[in-house]
Structure 1
Amino acid sequence: MSKLEQLNTILAELLKLDTSEFDESTELLGALSEFDSMAVVGLITAMEETFGIAVNDDDLDAELFSTVGSVLAYIERASL
């Protein structure tokens, strides 16, 4: 399973939405009413558990959660 597929699975569970059509350009923060502060917290926890990364408080900003692609890029950087 690709990281995009894994992320979409996480988002589907968190947001209770069909994310099968989500790609890297899919907007999240500000575009989906379901993607609220609680969803962000859930996503951070799921990212850390699923991808084995540590999300630093200093990295948390709106840009990180703006699109599926921005989240994937962060996962890639944090996995190095």
Structure 2
Amino acid sequence: MQPDGYHEVEETVRGVLRDVLGIDAARAATFDEATPLFGALPELDSMAVAGVLTEIEDRLGIVIDDDEVDGEMLETFGALVQFSAAKALT
């Protein structure tokens, strides 16, 4: 069971990926917990990561420290949502 607000965080992260990376809404809607991101989405290169994280910070009102950013948090859509939810819902 997910904590209250988890679905909203998930939809926010989905919206950020759609908006920042220019991904079609129908494609973004198919993202699930196991959808691979960094290294699998050509739109999500190292330059785009900063834009995605900045937009997540802005939309969720959180701060992501540089030392928190690693390959695991960007490996899958689920990992990015879980990371974001842990920051936003605590």
Q: TM-score, normalised by structure 2?
A: 0.81
Say yes or no: does 1:43 pair with 2:43: no
- 1:15 maps to 21
Letter in 2 for 1:5: E
Q: How many residues align?
A: 80
Q: Verify: 1:65 aligned to 2:74, yes or no.
A: yes
Distance 2:18 2:76 in 1: 15
CA RMSD of the aligned region, Å? 1.3
Q: Which amino acid aligns with 1:4?
A: E
| Residues in 1 aligned to 2:13 and 2:21: alpha-carbon distance in whole angstroms | 12
Structure number with the higher helix fraction is 2
Matched residues in 2 for 1:78 and 1:14: separation? 20
SS in 1 for 2:48: helix
Paired with 2:55 and 2:64, the residues of 1 have a C-alpha distance of 11
In the aligned structure 1, how far is the partner of 2:57 from the partner of 2:22?
A: 20
Structure 2 unmatched runs, 5+: 1-6
Which one of the candidate residues 66, 74, 78 is aligned to 2:83? 74
Is the contact made by 1:29 and 1:65 (CA closer than 8 Å) also made in structure 2?
yes
Structure (1 or 2) with the larger CA radius of gyration: 2
Letter in 2 for 1:71: L
* Partner of residue 3, structure 1: 9
TM-score (norm 1): 0.89
